[in-house]
Amino acid sequence: MNSAEECAKFIKEAHFIVALTGAGISTNAGIPDFRGPQGIYTTHKYDPDRVFDFHYFLRDPKPFYDFARDFLLLYRKASPTFTHRFLAKLEKEGKVKGIITQNIDALHTLAGSKNVIELHGSFYKSHCIKCGKEYSLEEMEKKIMEEDVPHCEQCGGIIKPDIVFFGEQVMHFEEAEELVYQSDLFFIIGSALAVYPAAMLPEFASQKIVVVSKGKVNIDPVSTTLMVNEDIDNFFKEVSKYYYGGEK
């Protein structure tokens, strides 16, 4: 039995699947991994200590918005990958009970997944840090492209997307812990488990753990049931064939 066939068997047997996803699930959508070859941490086009530091943002939000313009240009062209859609389909069928993601691209939601925990938030909504007025993605896209630093129309305060910066706590972590604890099949997809506290989540999985990722993942191989180092979409296309018996 090959890895894809074995993974399909695990899905058939499971009743409570949970997935943790990282940047690797979205690279085929055209969004570079921040730590990958074309990422912000590697190319040095932006200084992440300025772009993503909350206290620096309060002093000077311009570096973040310079980055945000480029990110949104990529985001406009991106669409959910096969794996995003496959997970959404499994959720619709009652197999996947929740997705925990480290990504800020909202592609799981766009793929149709309903129970998504975005540990680091997303660009989907933004709020004025002074008066709290909410801005939709469409409103913010327009502002980001037209203003050096988007300001609130209501009070003139700086607007901040609902993403987690350095210096802020991740969102809904206790809920994520509980989901992983309940899982009988826990997927780690496209995450190197390099960032805490998300890297702690496998510790709460008591049954099967399947890792699918290109490159090194910081996890003890003894604790994993299946470790796959392949292109994520190619692998899950094979899994889908075995799971659905040739159906798409």
Q: Distance between CA 35 and CA 232 in Å, rounded? A: 17
CB contact at 8 A, 190 and 23: yes
Instruction: Give the residue among 96, 98, 116, 97 at the shortest CA–CA distance from 106.
Output: 116
Residue 24: DSSP 8-state: G
Q: Which two tokens stand for residue 10?
A: 């695990």
Q: Cα–Cα distances in Å, from 243 out to 67, 218, 225, 228? A: 40, 28, 18, 17
Q: Is 120 a catalytic residue?
A: yes
What is the Cα gyration radius of the chain? 19
Q: Distance between CA 138 and CA 132 in Å, rounded? A: 17
Burial class (CB in 10 A: 0-12, 13-18, 19+), 77: exposed
Q: Distance between CA 199 and CA 4 in Å, rounded? A: 25
Q: Is the peptide bond before 161 cis (omega within 30 degrees of 0)?
A: no
Q: Distance between CA 52 and CA 33 in Å, rounded? A: 15
Q: Exactly one of 55, 120, 151, 172 is catalytic; which is it?
A: 120
CB contact at 8 A, 6 and 50: no
Active-site residue numbers?
A: 120
